[in-house]
Amino acid sequence: MPQKTIELLQSARTATVEDKYRRGNVIYLGETGSIVITGDIHGHRRNFERVVSFADLGNNPKKHVILQEIIHGGPADDKGLCQSYELLFDVLQYKLQYPDQIHILMSNHDTSFICDSEVMKDGREMNLAMRQALDKEFRGRSEDVKLAISEYLLSQPLAVKCDNGLWLSHSLPAERNWDKFDTAIFERKIELDDLARTGSVYLLTWGRKQSQKLLDDAAEKLGAKTFVLGHQSQPDGWSIAGENMIIIASDHNHGCLISCKLDKSYTAEELQDKIVALSSIQ
C-alpha cells in the first residue's frame, strides 16, 4: 500500500509543521498539564506500546508525550534488513490521533536517513539496512516512499522547552563544537546544509560527552534549567550525566520514561524520582 503510506507521511509532516505549540523549530510548553518524556526507541515496538499505554492520552487531554529516534533497530528480516520503518509509521498514526499532544524530536538517525549517510549501531550500518528493506517492500514506489520519509523527518522540531525549565532535545553539541553551534537554528528554516557535518542540526543531534561547563553555558544561552536528552546509550536505562542533565533510553529491557508535571520545576536529581521503568508497564 505505497500510496497510503505516502499519504500518512505527508499528513504527519503537516501535523508536525502545524503543531500548535511550535514556534520555529521548538515546541514551547506552558505550565498546564503533564509530560511523558522518552529516550531513543530504535524500533522497540513493545516499549513504544508501553509508552502509549502509560500515557493514556485518550483520558488525559492535558498530557504531552515526547518521542525520539524511532528508526534503526528492532525487527530485521531473514537477510538482516531493518524493518523499523514499520514502527515509524505506527508512531505517526499515533501523532495524527493526538497531533498537539505528541511531539517527535529530530535525532541523528533521522539526519542520516535524510542525508543517506552511514550510521552504525551495534556494529551494523543501519541506513542501508533500512533502505534495502524499503526497496524490498515498496518495489517500484520505494523512491517515493523514501522521499516522503525524508520530508517528514526533516519537518521535525529540534527541541521542547517548558516554562518549568525543562529542555528536551536528542542531544547537545560536543565540547569542541560548542562555539561553532548557531542557536539561530532553533528559529530559522532548516536547510540540508544544517544536517551535514559541522551544520548546527548535525552538531546538536550527534554530540556526546558534554562537560559541566558546556551544560552551564547551554543552560544560560538556552534559558533552560534541566536538560533531558537521549542519544548516549544507557545500559541501566538512565543516568545523571551532569548537575543539570539526565540522559534516558527507551530501547531495551531496562529502558525507562520520565513522567512529571509542567507546573513544577525539577532538578536532575529530583527527576530521578519521576523515572518509570518501561518493564513495569503492562
Of residues 239-278, which lie at the interface with Mn ion (CB under 5 A)? none
User: Least distance from C-beta 109 to Mn ion, angstroms?
Assistant: 6
Measured CA to CA, the distance from residue 146 to residue 148 in angstroms comes to 5
Residue 128 CA: distances (Å) to CA of 70, 84, 131: 16, 12, 5
Cβ at position 71, least distance to Mn ion in Å: 10
* Binding status of residue 38 toward Mn ion by CB under 5 A: no
Find how far residue 174's CA is from the centre of its chain: 18
Closest residue to bound Mn ion by CB:
231
For residues 187, 189, 195, 199, the Cα torsion angle rounded to the nearest 10 degrees is -60
CB of 107 to Mn ion, least distance (A): 5
For residue 72, state whether it binds Mn ion (rule: CB under 5 A): no
Shortest spacing between CB 154 and Mn ion, in angstroms: 16
The yes or no reply on residue 231 touching Mn ion (CB under 5 A) is: yes
What are residue 40's DSSP bridge partners? Answer: 68, 249
Question: By CB under 5 A, which span of 48-56, 71-79, 116-124, 231-239 interacts with Mn ion?
Answer: 231-239
- The arrangement of strands across the sheet holding 226-229 comes to 22-23, 26-29, 159-162, 166-169, 226-229, 245-248, 238-242
Q: Stretches 58-66, 71-79, 104-112, 193-201: which one binds Mn ion (CB under 5 A)?
A: 104-112
Q: Is 108 in the site for Mn ion (CB under 5 A)?
A: yes
- The alpha carbon dihedral of 220, 207, 73, 111 has a sign of positive
- Residue 106 contacts residue 156 (beta carbons within 8 Å): yes
What is the nearest approach in angstroms of Mn ion to the Cβ of residue 111? 9
Q: Which stretch binds Mn ion (CB under 5 A): 42-50, 106-114, 136-144, 176-184?
A: 106-114
The answer to whether residue 42 forms part of the interface with Mn ion (CB under 5 A) is: no
Q: How far is the CB of 230 from Mn ion (least distance, A)?
A: 6
Beta bridge partners of 37: 66, 258
Q: Which residues bind Mn ion (CB under 5 A)?
A: 107-108, 231
